[in-house]
Chain A
């Protein structure tokens, strides 16, 4: 899925109706406290598609991901996920502070390997390669406390990549990073993710981040969250950093922003 134009993006949306990696049909979520977080959410992510969800804070974006991953169950509707190889990237890096960068990446292989065990040496070299991919070669032995915020997020990304997943779920992974680190992480993320047929659902509250990364941007309403707009982003991958200053990019971002403001009222 390295290159894609407007027409193929739209045919893909149609084919998503047939074979979606992830599909929500009329999904609702009401917490035990009575709060209705999501109402009547429909969405689908096709194989190889990168979909972002933007919405005001507290609109149930994170709940959406928890439902998609199976961490919590919907109270209405249906969720279909056609893969058991999913990688979840949390808002915080969520590293174990007593494990080195390498050991943190290895962790998910140790846990997942229970049924068909990968030998320890192989786990180690897989983790090492994943750290290299995110530009952290040489930092394998460092504890998380000795890494910067950006580097910790890279370890977290490496931990997701090492599983070689079919589906990525991102929960505002760059929200806590400074602007410069954030932009660089976005550029690297699309380099890393758009290399195979992996799908991604990316939660963010940044319009430009959503447009820059995605094939399609979904806009959510305030609580209870539902999808109120859908904007296609026709640019080819890999996308250069300068794309953010392109007029066409600006028009799409404005379209998303307008939908977001409309959703607020």
Chain B
């Protein structure tokens, strides 16, 4: 922001004239090219190292007969599983189910999580009585109650969504609540002095102020919702198979190449979801949040 400061010019009539939009376009283009290289190159580098370690473990650590079962090398995973349509097709169908489950679960977790946080934020008495139970959701031995949830809600999509919500909801509650609590005290005073109603304070101050934290929570929850969907599958052996179901089948049948392919596929989906919500977040609040962090808003 030093640039804005230094170009602040007041003309004779006491008005500011604006010199801030004169940055040459070519420089901006080159900068965005550098930024792209800056994000892509490290990722590719890490990927190469990862593949290297994978190959090394397959060929240098393991004997040939154990290699097939424990850590099949990447090219074998590619040729024996991913490139074979008969192997890939069930995985993609399973993935489709998980996409549905995780996205429905995420939406529900978001809505319920934000609602719960808003309710708790309205009185410290409510927060003290409800928050411990929100933590309980986080620490409950989910693996133990998943079979129960199957019994309660059926083994189809409903039960899986419930598992997904339980796993994904806590970061939404915690982050929204944190965001609401960290609203500037001065801004609260401003609202008090102007006789704001509780509703105006919530809609015009607390929720927009909490938006950056809510998106931080959403990013964590989006990853968790994918895990939630797979955990649901894993234990619901009945019903339409999801990726989790396939994983447990592949383990049972020692189909290691397929197992690795399924793991890669689910990880890839998790990364895509995470990237999607990161992009969404910077689209929604980036304009004021990242800029404000550099300069302290209202400071």
- A contact residues vs B (CB 8 Å cutoff): 69-71, 86, 88, 90-98, 107-108, 110-112, 114, 135-139, 143-152, 176, 184, 188
**Structural contact, B294 and A145, CB atoms closer than 8 A:** yes
Q: Can you list 5 A-B contacts (CB < 8 A)? A: A98-B209, A111-B195, A111-B196, A146-B4, A149-B5
B14: which A residues are within 8 A, CB to CB? 135, 188
A139: which B residues are within 8 A, CB to CB? 16, 18
**Structural contact, A97 and B299, CB atoms closer than 8 A:** no
Nearest-neighbour CB distance to chain A for B13, whole angstroms, equals 8
B31: which A residues are within 8 A, CB to CB? none
| Chain B 13-42: CB-based contact to A (< 8 A → 1; otherwise 0) | 111101010000000000000000000000
**Structural contact, A92 and B186, CB atoms closer than 8 A:** yes
**Structural contact, B208 and A69, CB atoms closer than 8 A:** no
CA distance A152 to B187 in the complex (A): 14
**Structural contact, A135 and B16, CB atoms closer than 8 A:** yes
Using known A-B contacts A95-B298, A111-B196, determine if residue A143 contacts B189 with beta carbons closer than 8 Å.
no
B298: which A residues are within 8 A, CB to CB? 92-95, 97, 144, 152
Q: Is residue B295 within 8 Å, beta carbon to beta carbon, of the partner chain?
A: yes
A96: which B residues are within 8 A, CB to CB? 187, 204-205, 208-209, 297
**Structural contact, A95 and B297, CB atoms closer than 8 A:** yes
**Structural contact, A148 and B8, CB atoms closer than 8 A:** yes
Nearest-neighbour CB distance to chain A for B179, whole angstroms, equals 13
CA distance A86 to B189 in the complex (A): 13
CA distance A148 to B4 in the complex (A): 6
A110: which B residues are within 8 A, CB to CB? 200, 204
B211's partner among A88, A98, A144 (CB-CB below 8 A) is: A98
CA distance A94 to B194 in the complex (A): 14
Nearest-neighbour CB distance to chain A for B242, whole angstroms, equals 39
| Known interface pairs A94-B186, A143-B287, A145-B292; 15 further A-B residue pairs with C-beta atoms within 8 A, sorted by A's residue number | A88-B189, A94-B187, A94-B189, A96-B209, A97-B298, A98-B211, A107-B204, A108-B190, A111-B196, A144-B297, A145-B288, A145-B295, A146-B4, A146-B20, A150-B8
Nearest-neighbour CB distance to chain B for A184, whole angstroms, equals 8
Interface centre among B186, B194, B208, B292, by most chain A C-beta atoms within 10 angstroms, is B194
Q: Is residue B285 within 8 Å, beta carbon to beta carbon, of the partner chain?
A: yes
Tally the A-B contacts, defined by beta carbons under 8 Å: 103
Using known A-B contacts A93-B298, A107-B204, A138-B16, determine if residue A71 contacts B186 with beta carbons closer than 8 Å.
no
Interface centre among B5, B193, B197, B289, by most chain A C-beta atoms within 10 angstroms, is B193
CA distance A107 to B205 in the complex (A): 10
CA distance A124 to B291 in the complex (A): 25
Top 6 A-B pairs, shortest CB-CB distance: A145-B291, A97-B297, A111-B194, A97-B292, A94-B186, A135-B14
**Structural contact, B194 and A112, CB atoms closer than 8 A:** yes
**Structural contact, B186 and A98, CB atoms closer than 8 A:** no
Closest B residue, CB atoms, query A137: B15
Q: Is residue B80 within 8 Å, beta carbon to beta carbon, of the partner chain?
A: no
**Structural contact, A135 and B10, CB atoms closer than 8 A:** yes
**Structural contact, B186 and A112, CB atoms closer than 8 A:** no
**Structural contact, B195 and A112, CB atoms closer than 8 A:** yes
Interface centre among B191, B205, B291, B298, by most chain A C-beta atoms within 10 angstroms, is B298
B16's partner among A69, A149, A151 (CB-CB below 8 A) is: A151
B205: which A residues are within 8 A, CB to CB? 96
CA distance A259 to B189 in the complex (A): 32
Nearest-neighbour CB distance to chain B for A102, whole angstroms, equals 14
Q: Is residue B238 within 8 Å, beta carbon to beta carbon, of the partner chain?
A: no
CA distance A147 to B18 in the complex (A): 11
**Structural contact, B291 and A143, CB atoms closer than 8 A:** yes
CA distance A184 to B180 in the complex (A): 37
Closest A residue, CB atoms, query B297: A97
CA distance A98 to B20 in the complex (A): 20
CA distance A88 to B190 in the complex (A): 8
Using known A-B contacts A111-B196, A114-B195, determine if residue A98 contacts B288 with beta carbons closer than 8 Å.
yes
**Structural contact, B192 and A97, CB atoms closer than 8 A:** no
Nearest-neighbour CB distance to chain B for A133, whole angstroms, equals 10
**Structural contact, B5 and A143, CB atoms closer than 8 A:** no
Closest B residue, CB atoms, query A115: B195
A143: which B residues are within 8 A, CB to CB? 287-288, 291-292
B197's partner among A95, A114, A145, A151 (CB-CB below 8 A) is: A114
Using known A-B contacts A94-B186, A95-B298, determine if residue A135 contacts B15 with beta carbons closer than 8 Å.
yes
CA distance A144 to B196 in the complex (A): 22
B186: which A residues are within 8 A, CB to CB? 90-92, 94
